[in-house]
Amino acid sequence: MTVFNHLLRHLEQEPGTISNTSLTSLFQFITLATRLKNDIILVEPSLSPTSDPPFVLSPAVTVFLSAGCSISPAEVNDAWSLLKDVIWSGGITVDVGRLWETHGTQRGLAEYLLYPPSHSCLHPDCQRRAKGMTLKKAAQTYVVLFTMTKGPCIAKSVHLYCQTCGIDYHHNYSVFKGERTYYEHQPDSVQAADHVFIEKSVIELFRTAMDFSWTSATNCAKLYNLCLSHGKQTPADFKVKFELSVEHVWDGYVITSLLEDCERRMNTLVAPHTGEQRDRFTEAMIARNRRIQLYGYEQVRRHYCNRCTSMYKDEQGVVTHKVSAVVVDGVTVGHPCCAVYNCHTPLSNNHHHFCHLHSGQNDKCVIIGCDLPIVRGRRTCSTLEHHQVEDTHELRGQSRFQLQERLARARTTIATNTSLTDDPPDEEEYEFNENTRRALPATSSSQDRPGRKKFRAVFGRRRTHNEQLIVAPCGMIIARRTFFGAEGVASVKQFIKEVYAGEDAVKPNHIFFDNNCTLAKLAMGDPFFDNIGLSVDVFHFKCKHSQTDTFCQENCNPEAFPELHSDDGKGWRFNSSVAEQTNNWFGKYHPIAREMLAHKFNFFCDELILRRNHRTEEKLGKDGHNPCIWPCQQVFE
């Protein structure tokens, strides 16, 4: 007799066994009791056969199942007498997913149904909606849903069309006149491509891996395909691959970040429905980049806590003034930019050398200072010396020439830096020997000698110089700015003034910067820097600043600022090394971001910083450092 027939006979004989028990409770009972099989065996007498279920359950198991299934202990006993054989044989272990793939697709069904959030039109003035009519014009397509627990699964994406309003409702967004409008409340999966959906939990795994272990999108895709796909292969008759790509990872990352940004600002994400997927969210990314550059990271400019700000009170306990500090430093993370020095116009393609404003420079000689047109088939003009420089540049990529360079370095008294770098230098320097008519790369030991000419050339792409960060001693990143040509002190000064120029910004009382001895001179006479101390952090001051520099010793020595000393006078009030610690984290993203276009680079960096700031603020709160926001700039003025 089958289990099913046994259950039917039992119910015929005792119909009241489960009359008051819902099907949900029964399924919960089977699931929970199946997992407790070993515990049930453990409390049975040692001579009881493990192949047969006991007639009664122990009190502890009975009480647990009663609470877990919302049924009485008596109903637990009745359910056990009815279902114990089913439970003891393994419970419900049907591979439902396999059944859907085997029998569902050929009948127009799927395990996962990705419908719009409503079967009715959401437009408030829709006549169809006013009549209580649901949407019945539908289009469906089979897609792949990349899940966290079951790997890639076949799903059915269905969009419903309102014939009255002309709005097409999809799983994540509605479409009207070629424009996507994303819903305020999003489902648990995100459409990353026409036939690809990714669960939010998977995307969050990727974002967290990028945050904490500097995992690239390429490695995120490999991680999923190797470890989370459960070895699933694409069915023979299915057109979409069960394989997550780098593009899917990035699109999921960008869409989720934009949706969260809109949610924080109580705004709606809008994007074009037409065009290429890679360009769909470019304008939205650029808009967020501009907003953050203008307004900063969500009120972080007005952040304070016990680790970055010290409060001073009068005898009545009223706060009278404060001392706060920030640290400014640069980190070598960058992206390709226009080869014209300090040009901020972004490239339209990361393989281009010049922006659209300077595209005419492509026809000019790459030797710096030479404006002659290039010769066909070359990147230099007709000048012989320039030809030789270009030929030497081409040879540098060959293994034999690399060995010759290594031998030459070994024979020099002062060796050049032989460490491997990700990128070649923006500008290459060569020395042309007029006697041998040959050009060789200049070394640090090269001296100006008769019959030798030096040339500088830009054969490769120029990259931005560094990312300048302003960091509070507590670890909160206040601001970021791309420096294109160099870490100029005048640019740092302007950066600081722009960050704290808003009416809602609260200026720090002290700024640490490793070149403050120069910044202090530039800041003289500038009222913005009145009452702001400018010193060098302890490490750089001891190791990299000359003791004979009188101005630096008198104006930038941290020892000269009493407010920087701790209350006991034995240490320092603020962690001035926080920028080095932050740079160590941020700098490791260079291999990931080095080939990004400007808008994607800025979006990625800002998202990393926003997420890091959220984590830092949460930790400050848990550790009792009381993170808060200043109400306005005039608090202590």
Tokens 């027939």, residue located: 5
Q: Mean pLDDT of successive 10-residue segments in the chain (637 residues)?
A: 61 62 80 91 90 93 93 90 86 67 75 94 94 94 96 95 97 97 96 97 98 96 96 89 97 98 96 94 97 89 92 78 91 93 92 92 92 92 91 74 59 40 68 81 66 85 93 96 91 94 84 88 91 73 54 68 76 83 94 95 98 96 93 53
For residue 221, the model assigns a pLDDT of 98
Q: Going by C-beta distance under 8 Å and a sequence separation of 6 or more, which residues neighbour residue 225?
A: 243, 244
Asked if 249 and 184 count as a contact pair (C-beta separation under 8 A), the reply is: no
CATH number given to 295-335+464-636: 3.30.420.10
For residue 420, the model assigns a pLDDT of 36
| Distance separating alpha carbons of residues 232 and 230, to the nearest angstrom | 5
**Which of 336, 420, 410 is CA-nearest to residue 593?**
336
Q: 608 φ, ψ to 5°?
A: -60, -45
- Per the DSSP assignment, residues forming a β-bridge with 145 are 153, 197
The ranges assigned to domains in the chain are 3-88, 96-280, 295-335+464-636, 352-462
Sign of CA pseudo-dihedral 538, 543, 545, 550: positive
Burial of 419 (0-12, 13-18, 19+ CB in 10 A): exposed
Model pTM score: 0.84
| Distance separating alpha carbons of residues 289 and 182, to the nearest angstrom | 20
The one-character DSSP state at 214 is -
**Which of 6, 53, 10 is CA-nearest to residue 33?**
53
Cα separations in angstroms, 167 against 64, 425, 611: 50, 53, 35
| Distance separating alpha carbons of residues 602 and 88, to the nearest angstrom | 58
Q: Going by C-beta distance under 8 Å and a sequence separation of 6 or more, which residues neighbour residue 618?
A: none
Q: 589 φ, ψ to 5°?
A: -90, -5
The one-character DSSP state at 413 is S
Task: List strand residue ranges (DSSP E) for 194-269, in order.
Answer: 196-199
**Which of 230, 134, 206, 319 is CA-nearest to residue 604?**
206
Q: Rg of the chain over CA atoms, in angstroms? A: 34
Sign of CA pseudo-dihedral 277, 282, 284, 288: positive
Asked if 369 and 341 count as a contact pair (C-beta separation under 8 A), the reply is: no
For residue 27, the model assigns a pLDDT of 84
